[in-house]
Amino acid sequence: MLDYAKVRTWESGDIRHTCTPQSAMLYALGVGMAQDPLDRNEIRYVTEKNLRVLPSMAAVLAHPGFWMRDRPEMGIDYVRMVHGEQSIHLHRPLPSEGTVVGRSRVTRVVDKGEGKGALVYVEKRLFGTDSDELLAVCNSIVFCRADGGFSVIGGGDPPSESPRATPQTPPDVVVDLQTRPESALIYRLSGDFNPLHSDPDVATEAGFPRPILHGLGTYGAACHGLVKGFCDYDPARLKSMSARFSAPTFPGDLIQLEGWKTADGIAFRARVPARDVTVLSHGHAVCIGA
């Protein structure tokens, strides 16, 4: 059973991550950028000249590792946990070269009840080592499907606010984002080597016909769509982005990002029209000048 006291007080300590131009380029390729070698906007994300870094890369920098699996004393059934939601808040553009420090901690644990699972909220703060200035704050929600009901022995934070609803009007912007057939094999080189995304046998055992794209790979593709559709390819204009993972993407899928301009930013979702499925829902972003 999930040990509330141990999970709630978990902290990673300082994790140093060395950024290189090659890692920024590899990340951009993994989320589907630069499939047209003549697209000068996208080439800037995958070549050395005036290299730009996609803001969603903040989610993978200085990652604390698979601590829910590697710390059995936490009592989490890691086999049944899934990534539920992700947000990033950028304070400064991400560097293409240098070292960053990540500090992760659990900020909330919600007991949804016996048989209903639990939610673990994890915050990661990214700092530059030269000045210790805050670069970004990333928040993730992990849905531990088998770990509800622990609050009968004490512990459990109140639920958080509800996610924003998607507008029912036609979107203001639609961006087509073609994923590569080998997307997951490229994306995993940014640090997530879960065999669900590379081993056909593991995918079959998990109930999928073939390996699926990483959830954060879909999230990165959506970030590409936001930067393209609302920020004129300028990553410094995207200040925040949040979304809920609602269905898997398969490498090779065409993702459609649908965006709506609202009073406080951009509402968005990501769909795979060929399968009539929404893969990211309840999205919200802030882009300067959008």
> Which domains are assigned to the chain?
4-153 (3.10.129.10), 173-287 (3.10.129.10)
Q: Torsion angle of alpha carbons 158, 118, 74, 248, nearest 10°? A: -130
Q: How far apart are CA 36 and CA 38, in angstroms?
A: 5
pLDDT digits (tens, 9 = 90+) for 196-229: 899 999 899 888 999 999 999 999 999 999 999 9
Identify the pLDDT of residue 154.
67
Judge whether residue 180 has pLDDT over 70. Answer: yes
CB 15 within 8 A of CB 124: no
Query: What mean pLDDT value characterizes the chain?
Result: 93
CB-count burial class (<10 Å; 0-12, 13-18, 19+) for 42: buried
Using a pLDDT cut of 90, give the percent of the chain over it. 81
CA atoms within 13 A on the CB side of 104: 23
pLDDT at 269: 98
Q: What is the mean pLDDT of residues 244-272?
A: 97
pLDDT value of residue 160? 66
**Percentage above 70 pLDDT, the chain:** 97
How many Cβ atoms from other residues are within 10 Å of residue 187's Cβ? 29
- Note the pLDDT tens digit of each residue in 51-107: 999 999 999 999 998 899 889 999 999 888 889 999 999 999 999 999 999 999 999
**Distance (Å, whole) CA 277 – CA 269:** 11
User: What pLDDT score does 247 carry?
Assistant: 96
Query: Which amino acid, residue 68?
Result: M
Give the 3-state secondary structure of residue 274.
Answer: helix
User: Could you tell me the CA-to-CA distances from 65 to 19, 253, 287 in Å, in that order?
Assistant: 17, 28, 30
pLDDT at 109: 95
Does residue 40 carry a pLDDT above 90? yes
Q: What is the pLDDT of residue 162?
A: 67
User: Higher-confidence residue: 58 or 157?
Assistant: 58
**Euclidean distance between CA atoms 12 and 103, whole angstroms:** 6
